[in-house]
Structure 1
């Protein structure tokens, strides 16, 4: 007998509802989010069970606890699921029951879960990006600290300039320098590991054939896309990245606004950054010409987002056909 289960996941506990093929609730309970509890749940559900989890911040831990223990673990798309299951009375029990019911009827809106090795790469790339962002923040703190002292000088973080900064004997700046030094080690280590992974990945090599895209951005794009075959056309991929204009339609009137900013924020960020980089390093490519035409009529920020969407469309076909970038289109 097939069993369908829904899990409402929280930091310290989960609420589970299991039902049979007819929709009869077999059990409904709350339990601590501990490995032995998930193993007990998997044993009770059986290896033919289908389990749905809502994509909260703790989903990956729960997913990996159940992966391989039951027939199928699915990640529910949080926004679409809420639209379908919107109720006046909202409890953990009701939420888990709704997930089980959607799984049983085949109506569960699913979010993509990449394979484990891709998830590990995504985590590594995102961790490096976070550390770089923090380091940049502390560098900005140093600039602000110098400005408060009335010091105006261009500097880098070379050995000589670091000594100059230290010799100023400003406590706050020395504290920030110490943190920057501490962040440099993991950032460089991760950079080396990412470079090795990028060299092994054929899709990343294709993406890197676009001028301005190096191994970090290239691997970020390919890991966030995953299997390009899951997108039937480039428009679906651009929508997944949140790079399509929002649309309001009423009768025969249709109005397009700014981009929806929904979907994969990491892929959207990568495409915008790569577009700026391509403008700097490319030479009269069809993408650059497209940007320049649009920039005559629109602000640069609008034009760069449109260019990012066009570049992602180009990447879609490059990956689909296994072809390198063609500068003239």
Structure 2
């Protein structure tokens, strides 16, 4: 007899519902979020499918279930509307809804990247987190200078400017600089690793052949895509990155609005930054597209459309295994 388990995953605990082929609930229980808790709950369940919703804590649970020979499936949180629309939103009802969707073969699944892509994503996220921390302490130093009405000559955080800063002898600034130097060391180490991995990754090097992309941005886009074969075409990839216009249709008339902003907002920001860099440093067909559009629509609309154009180019480059061709 096949069994279907819905697992509502939380930081401290899980709620699970086990259901048979007829929809009868065989077990409902809350248990700790630990390997021991999972093994204890599933100890007398022999195989079957387990659905869990994509959340901050899904990865270790997913891996543990696979190691125990369960067929783990990751539910797409935005598409699993039945959970969000429950009139009584409880963890038990959420796990029950997941089990029902699984049993009826209606579960909208999210993409589960291979282990190497998941590891790369974690490395990239760590770099972003460290850079954000460094920016915070740099801002604190700038605030100390502003408070004291101190203006330094030169470009901030470079050569003479840094030398002047170090000569001031301001205690809070010295404390923050110790942290910044430590962060610089860790960020540098991660960036060297990203560069080494990028040079060994064909897909990342293809993306990097586009003017405006460096090792980090190329790896960020590659890690988000994972396997290009999961996208039927460039439109689906653009939709995944949230750079397509939203559409409203009423009475046979279609109206386009702002971009959908689906997907990872950080990757979308990287794409737009790369689009700006591209149109500033290249005379490619994509730059020509931007220049024509900005005259009619303005910079902000044109650059988002250019990011979409870059996304389409990336799709075909990865699909065909070809470097970027500036002439189109």
TM superposition score normalised by structure 1 = 0.94
1:218 Cα deviation after fit: 0.9
CA distance in 1 between counterparts of 2:159 and 2:207 reads 35
What is the SS of the residue equivalent to 1:113? coil
What is the SS of the residue equivalent to 1:26? strand
CA distance in 1 between counterparts of 2:253 and 2:14 reads 46
CA distance in 2 between counterparts of 1:85 and 1:148 reads 48
The runs of 5 or more residues in structure 1 that have no matched partner are none
CA contact (8 A) 1:272 1:308 kept: yes
Instruction: Find the counterpart in structure 1 of residue 297 from structure 2.
Output: 298
TM-superposition CA deviations, 1:114-134 (whole Å, max 9, x none): 111110100101110221122
1:107 Cα deviation after fit: 0.5
Q: Does 1:77 align with 2:76?
A: yes
What is the SS of the residue equivalent to 1:111? coil
Instruction: Find the counterpart in structure 2 of residue 217 from structure 1.
Output: 217
- Pairing 1:300-315 to 2, within 5 Å after superposition: 300-315=299-314
CA contact (8 A) 2:154 2:161 kept: no
CA distance in 2 between counterparts of 1:87 and 1:156 reads 53
Instruction: Find the counterpart in structure 1 of residue 274 from structure 2.
Output: 274
Q: Does 1:289 align with 2:325?
A: no
Instruction: Find the counterpart in structure 1 of residue 54 from structure 2.
Output: 55
The runs of 5 or more residues in structure 2 that have no matched partner are none
CA distance in 2 between counterparts of 1:269 and 1:41 reads 42
Aligned residue pair count:
327
What is the SS of the residue equivalent to 2:29? strand
1:165 Cα deviation after fit: 0.7
The CA RMSD measured in Å over matched residues stands at: 1.7
Q: Does 1:326 align with 2:325?
A: yes
Instruction: Find the counterpart in structure 2 of residue 125 from structure 1.
Output: 124
TM superposition score normalised by structure 2 = 0.94
Which range is displaced more, 162-171 or 199-208?
162-171
Instruction: Find the counterpart in structure 2 of residue 40 from structure 1.
Output: 40
1:67 Cα deviation after fit: 2.1
CA contact (8 A) 1:55 1:78 kept: yes
1:233 Cα deviation after fit: 1.1
TM-superposition CA deviations, 1:59-88 (whole Å, max 9, x none): 122212212323311111112113566221
CA contact (8 A) 2:8 2:52 kept: yes
CA contact (8 A) 1:224 1:266 kept: no
CA distance in 1 between counterparts of 2:296 and 2:180 reads 42
CA contact (8 A) 1:225 1:267 kept: no
Which range is displaced more, 261-270 or 94-103?
261-270
CA contact (8 A) 1:16 1:93 kept: yes
